[in-house]
């Protein structure tokens, strides 16, 4: 009787994120988990056309998706907003946070980032995975209580349970933090 071939799942590819978008005046840091496949292909944060991030930033600080990417990122910086991801690299098939292999995560050097950006007082997480990875892998290395941490609803199109209006309403908390 012939043997059936053993099918082994191919390992998930390792993906690497981007450098932070920040300048010395940053007062707020928005952290995602890891850029999705569309963002990685484009070399831009939140490049998926259905991701609400840039639409929300347009409504909050004038950094909307109709502008060139360089203009959007300049507007974020001028508003005192820095942007990065908790993870520097991980194994993941596709774009979903749920597909990240938790044993493969390598975090960005966030403690050093906070040392270089001492004006940052608030960290906002773009979704639950970013918050969970930060609290597990980064927060233990930080000075306790130095930062205010808050999860916001994910801007990902995969988080369709909440409509745009409610997401925007939740994200408006950032405006209070950049006015400090």
Tens-place pLDDT, residues 44-53:
999 999 999 9
Choice between 6 and 92, residue whose per-residue pLDDT is larger: 92
Q: Which of 150, 144, 117 is nearest to 31 (CA)?
A: 150
pLDDT at residue 3 in the model: 66
Choice between 56 and 161, residue whose per-residue pLDDT is larger: 56
Per-residue confidence band for 158, with pLDDT thresholds at 50, 70 and 90: confident
Listed as own residue / partner, the contacts of 100-107 with beta carbons closer than 8 Å and 24 or more positions apart are 100/33, 100/34, 100/129, 101/12, 104/12, 104/14, 105/133, 105/137, 107/133, 107/137, 107/138
Is there a contact between 58 and 64 (Cβ–Cβ < 8 Å)? yes
Tell me which DSSP letter residue 145 carries.
T
Domains of the chain in start order, with CATH, are 14-178 (3.40.470.10)
Residue 10 predicted with pLDDT over 80: no
Mean pLDDT calculated for residue range 99-124: 94
DSSP structure string for 7-53: PPPPPPPEEE----B--TT--EEEEESS--HHHHHHTSTT-STT-SH
The pTM (predicted TM-score) of the whole model is 0.91
Mean pLDDT calculated for residue range 97-111: 90
Residue 88 predicted with pLDDT over 60: yes
User: Which residues does the annotation mark as catalytic?
Assistant: 51
Residues 6+ away with beta carbon under 8 Å from 155: 46, 51, 52, 53, 56, 126, 127, 167
pLDDT at residue 12 in the model: 83
pLDDT at residue 98 in the model: 81
């Amino acid at each position: 009787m012939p043997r059936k071939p053993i099918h082994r799942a191919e390992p998930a590819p390792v993906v690497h994120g981007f450098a932070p978008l920040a300048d010395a005046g940053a007062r707020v840091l928005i952290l995602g988990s890891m850029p999705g496949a569309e963002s990685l292909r484009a070399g831009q944060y939140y490049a998926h056309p259905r991701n609400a991030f840039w639409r929300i930033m347009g409504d909050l600080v004038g950094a909307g998706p109709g502008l060139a990417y360089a203009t959007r990122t300049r507007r974020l910086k001028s508003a005192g907003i820095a942007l990065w991801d908790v993870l520097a690299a991980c194994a993941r098939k596709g774009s979903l946070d749920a597909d990240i292999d938790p044993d493969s995560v390598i975090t960005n050097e966030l403690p050093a980032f906070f040392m270089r950006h001492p004006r940052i007082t608030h960290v906002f997480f773009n979704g639950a995975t970013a918050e969970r990875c930060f609290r597990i892998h980064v927060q233990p290395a930080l000075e306790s209580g130095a930062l205010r941490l808050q999860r916001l609803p994910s801007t990902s199109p995969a988080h369709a349970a909440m409509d745009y209006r409610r997401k925007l309403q939740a994200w408006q908390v950032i405006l209070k933090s950049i006015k400090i």
